[in-house]
Amino acid sequence: MSRLQKILSAHGIASRREAERMIADGRVEINGVKATVGQSAIPGQDRITVDSIELKHADKKIYLMLNKPEGYLTTVTDDRSRQTVMELVSGAEARVYPVGRLDLNSEGLLLFTNDGEFANRIMHPSFNINKAYEVKVRGDVQEAVRLLQMPVCIDEHTVRVVNVEIIEKTTSGGRITITISEGRNRQVRKMCIACGLKVDKLKRISIGELMLGDLKTGKWRHLTEDEVLLLSSEKSDVLSP
């Protein structure tokens, strides 16, 4: 018997902390009864559902990367029947879950897995895994890049970029790359706005050493064994999340 949040994490649905929030929000049931935070269950014996979808035992670990298009929610279900990224990976041989988020109007590299420990390593801030974004903006790019190289305050939090570079300058704006190691909600967009830029397009191009490459928009592929090992061995400041 294991704690429910540990079971959900092991199936790649969410980190343990996020799983606790899902349980508290009434989204998880055990044998048809809403679960409570701290409750335990027996995988394979108890019927566990998340958002009315039964949790299946996943023997084989699956790791996918998707080039997410704009207009898709990074969520498993949506009560307003909007398009979700799950529709784009429906051909996978096992049920997988998105690792982290890209907001509705963002595109680019998004990982999926049913390996909870792997997902937690990618998402947990203590592992400091860099994520790089290419951003098309309007405004004074030169001045904004100067400001982005300093601490920026968003949502009462001070954040920093790992790196920022100008790719292209135009009369109205240009394109820049921003690399961060944190993952606050809409962080890159908010940092750009705080530095006087208007974001026209945002695309994640890498997670750690994994590059989006030439994967076509809306398509997915399996990670290679080397890619999984590369992400799994990304350095952190702690031994475990």
Q: Which residues are catalytic?
A: 103
112 close to 220: Cβ distance less than 8 angstroms: yes
Q: Which helix (H) or strand (E) holds 108?
A: strand 107-113
**CA-to-CA dists, residue 162 to 100, 153, 197, 235, angstroms:** 19, 15, 19, 15
Counting beta carbons within 10 angstroms of the beta carbon of residue 230, is it exposed (0 to 12), middle (13 to 18) or buried (19 or more)? middle
The owner of tokens 């998340």 is 50
Task: Please tell me the distance from the alpha carbon of residue 56 to that of residue 40, in angstroms, as a whole number.
Answer: 17
